[in-house]
Amino acid sequence: MEPLGEGRLASQKEIAKLYDLRSAAAHGKPKHRGDDLLASFHLLRMVLIKIMEDKKLPSKDDLERMLFFG
């Protein structure tokens, strides 16, 4: 969802942080705050809008290509 560069790197780090928080909660050791939940919903919203705009659900291969090649 971000072009290659610093913005994409920052987004990837934020997504990894949210994933770690989700994982902790799923395994019974929640560490998240309300803002983290809102950030997760915002991310989900952006992903769903992108899918609707592209009129396509990307495959795993599509996602890997986009991640590494832009």
Average pLDDT over residues 48-60: 96
Residue 70 has pLDDT above 80, yes or no: no
Confidence at residue 66, expressed as pLDDT on a 0 to 100 scale? 87
Confidence of residue 41 (pLDDT cuts 50, 70, 90): very high
Confidence of residue 58 (pLDDT cuts 50, 70, 90): very high
* C-alpha–C-alpha distance, residues 1 and 31, integer Å: 27
pTM of the model: 0.76
